């Protein structure tokens, strides 16, 4: 379309950027005359348009011809226009004088908040890159969880991690009413709202990475694993419905590990109940005497309901305060095959009972079964005696075992946080008074 008039304001209002560029380049005196009284208005008009965004080369020409039009309002206009890319803000910063740049720095938190509300991902990214101090109080991250996007939250957490803004990139910085960003993401969760769901998942991934002691979240880390021990029960149940594919696509041992992590996360220390046989003197004596065959037979037949009435009566009449798992753990000797097998058998059946199964699934990793039943250092040492169980796991399975170990190890620290979110504690009574603080690595 050929525009007859040379009125720059008219060209800008209609987004005729080619004609604007030509006018600025070849009719400079005419432009200055036309804009002698309304330079600021036309300049802001050019930035604010959301029909066809102003090209960067036109923006540069405007600034070169009318440098006095650049003020704080121009930065506000760019911040609030979601159609402008970060390069537009970069151009304004390049042409701003020192005084204006300082004013922008002082107002950086305000500008970033405005960009978050407008879901202006690129401008948010530029502002937190140029002015990382806006992350220090957690307000920007919290606001992003309320009305931003998962992409913005991801960028802020990444920047926060890079600048050491608290734990997990500033995820736990408290704001008004004692909430942190993770609390807000959990409170606002809606499984039907994709953006809020993805925002929470992003927060959980960073929280989990911090908890697991890794610098960044591994690619394709399962959502269920990240959420276990960090999200309330109703959200875990929602995730189980939405992300069952994560369980299905891994190996059997990996599925067992994810299931154990989720089970630990949604139950308190009364989860599951051991069959009567574990407290019978007959089974305890078999463990004490190293009678592996009898231990295996008693547990298998009892759990399958194959014991005769006479044997059942005998087991019930010999109930005591001791527990076969604790006895087998006390007698554990990593250099003695029989004691290893007895403890392994007791743990497998005890874990199956806790999880609601009659008998243990085949090839269930013993390290996984032992967690929550015996001290962690003993669980790891027992697992070392059966290295193939972990070695043959896929990547997700190994990640899940590490997560379960971590959950059992640092439960006291996270229990209060979970209780505050109306989630059960993760306490597990092992019959031992003290757990070692250092965990051996899982064999690769």
What would the pLDDT profile of 57-109 be if each residue is shown by its tens digit? Answer: 999 998 988 888 899 999 999 998 888 889 999 999 999 999 999 999 999 99
For residue 437, what pLDDT band results from cuts at 50, 70 and 90? very low
Q: Rounded to an integer, what distance in angstroms lies between the CA atom of residue 276 and that of residue 303?
A: 10
Q: What angle do CA 190, 235, 230 make, to 5 degrees?
A: 125
Burial pattern 82-101, b for ≥16 Cβ within 10 A else e, equals: eebebebbebbbebbeeebe
CA 435 to CA 379: how far, in whole Å?
Answer: 11
pLDDT band at 303 (very low <50, low <70, confident <90, very high): confident
Delimit the domains of the chain by residue range.
1-106, 121-217, 226-444
pLDDT tens, residue by residue, 163-212: 999 889 999 999 877 889 999 999 999 999 999 999 999 999 999 999 88
Residues 208 and 220: beta-carbon distance below 8 Å = no
Whether 94 contacts 106, CB under 8 Å: no
Q: Cα 421 vs. chain centroid, distance in angstroms? A: 16
Average pLDDT estimate for 424-429: 35
Place of tokens 């085949």: 362
pLDDT of residue 377: 87
Is 70 exceeded by the pLDDT of residue 421? no
**Dist CA 259 CA 251 (whole Å):** 12
- C-alpha distances in angstroms, 117 versus 62, 145, 155? 28, 10, 15
Contact yes or no for 203/185 (Cβ under 8 A): yes
The pTM of this model reads: 0.79
Question: Crossing angle, helix 86-95 and helix 121-130, to 10 degrees?
Answer: 40
In 3D, which of 432, 441, 437 has the Cα closest to residue 411? 437
**pLDDT, tens digit, 9 for 90 and up, residues 260-289:** 888 877 765 445 678 888 989 999 999 999
Residue 4 has pLDDT above 60, yes or no: no
- Specify which residues 319 forms β-bridges with: 280
């Amino acid at each position: 379309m050929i525009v007859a008039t040379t009125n720059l304001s008219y060209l800008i209002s209609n987004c005729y950027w080619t004609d604007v560029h030509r006018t600025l380049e070849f009719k400079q005196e005419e432009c200055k005359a036309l804009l002698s009284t309304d330079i600021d208005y036309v300049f802001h008009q050019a930035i604010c348009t959301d029909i066809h965004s102003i090209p960067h080369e036109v923006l540069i020409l405007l600034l070169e011809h009318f440098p006095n039009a650049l003020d704080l309002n121009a930065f506000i206009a760019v911040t609030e226009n979601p159609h402008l890319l970060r390069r537009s803000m970069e151009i304004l910063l390049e042409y701003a004088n020192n005084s204006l740049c300082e004013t922008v720095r002082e107002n950086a938190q305000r500008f970033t908040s405005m960009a978050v509300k407008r879901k202006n991902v690129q401008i948010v990214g530029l502002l937190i890159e140029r002015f990382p101090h806006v992350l220090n109080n957690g307000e920007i991250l919290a606001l992003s969880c309320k009305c931003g996007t998962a992409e913005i939250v991801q960028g802020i957490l990444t920047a926060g991690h890079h600048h050491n803004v608290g734990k997990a990139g500033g995820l736990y910085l408290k704001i008004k009413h004692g909430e942190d960003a993770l609390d807000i993401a959990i409170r606002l969760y809606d499984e039907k709202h994709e953006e809020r769901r993805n925002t929470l998942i992003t927060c959980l991934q960073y929280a989990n990475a911090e908890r697991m002691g890794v610098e960044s979240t591994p690619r394709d880390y399962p959502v269920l694993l990240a959420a276990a021990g960090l999200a309330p029960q109703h959200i875990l149940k929602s995730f189980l419905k939405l992300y069952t594919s994560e369980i299905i696509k891994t190996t059997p041992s990996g599925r067992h590990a994810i299931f154990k992590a989720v089970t630990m996360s949604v139950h308190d220390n009364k989860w599951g109940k051991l069959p009567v046989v574990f407290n019978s003197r007959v089974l305890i004596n078999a463990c004490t005497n190293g009678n592996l065959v009898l231990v295996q037979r008693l547990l298998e037949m009892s759990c399958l309901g194959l014991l005769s009435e006479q044997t059942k009566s005998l087991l019930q009449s010999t109930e005591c305060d001791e527990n076969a798992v604790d006895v087998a753990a006390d007698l554990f000797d990593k250099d003695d095959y029989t004691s290893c097998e007895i403890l392994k058998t007791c743990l497998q059946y005890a874990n199956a009972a806790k999880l609601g199964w009659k008998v243990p699934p085949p090839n269930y990793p013993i390290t996984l079964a032992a967690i929550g039943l015996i001290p962690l250092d003993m669980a790891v040492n027992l697992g070392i005696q059966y290295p193939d169980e972990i070695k043959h796991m896929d990547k997700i399975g190994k990640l899940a075992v590490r997560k379960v170990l971590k959950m059992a190890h640092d439960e006291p620290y996270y229990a209060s946080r979970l209780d505050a979110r109306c989630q059960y504690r993760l306490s597990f009574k092992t019959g031992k008074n003290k757990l070692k603080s250092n965990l051996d690595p899982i064999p690769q």
